[in-house]
Amino acid sequence: MRNYNEKDIRFYDLKNNIDGDFIADTTGDFAITDVYESARQDMTNRVRTQKGDWRSHKNLGADLELLEGEPNTKETGIKGESQIYEALTYDNRFDISDLEIRAVPVSIEEIQFFVVLDTDKNGPIILNESLNI
């Protein structure tokens, strides 16, 4: 959990139990994410979901599960990179010129996708998504 000062962002009191990670201030109040954290969360969600998972955005998602069962080849890595680019640039959320994606085979059964979003404010956002194929 990352802590923020009240002057940095707005806060809401937590009234219910929340499953999963969230951002809070030092008193435990729930925080609205800033632009940087919002981008990281959006990138993670888009990479980890499949098309059709979002009711209002049926074409949003990287569909990495479709690569399961494929051979761990350069072509499979390039397919995954392309699918991630498509998911992140869908609806113009991120500009393709700010993204760099690399597929790295780490074993015969696993590819890691490194996703870097160049941001001006807080430095790059780096995601590492692993896929067992």
Domains of the chain: 1-32 (no CATH), 35-132 (3.10.450.40)
**Tokens 């009240």 correspond to what residue?**
6
Give, for all 133 residues of the chain, the pLDDT tens digit.
Answer: 444 444 443 443 344 434 444 555 566 555 555 555 688 889 999 999 999 988 888 999 999 999 999 999 999 999 999 999 999 999 999 999 999 999 999 999 999 999 999 987 778 999 999 999 9
DSSP state letters, 60-111: -S--GGGGTTS-SSHHHHHHHHHHHHHHHHGGGSS-GGGEEEEEEEEETTEE
Q: What pTM does this model have?
A: 0.72
**Encoded amino acid at 45, one letter:** N
* 128 bridge partner residues: 114
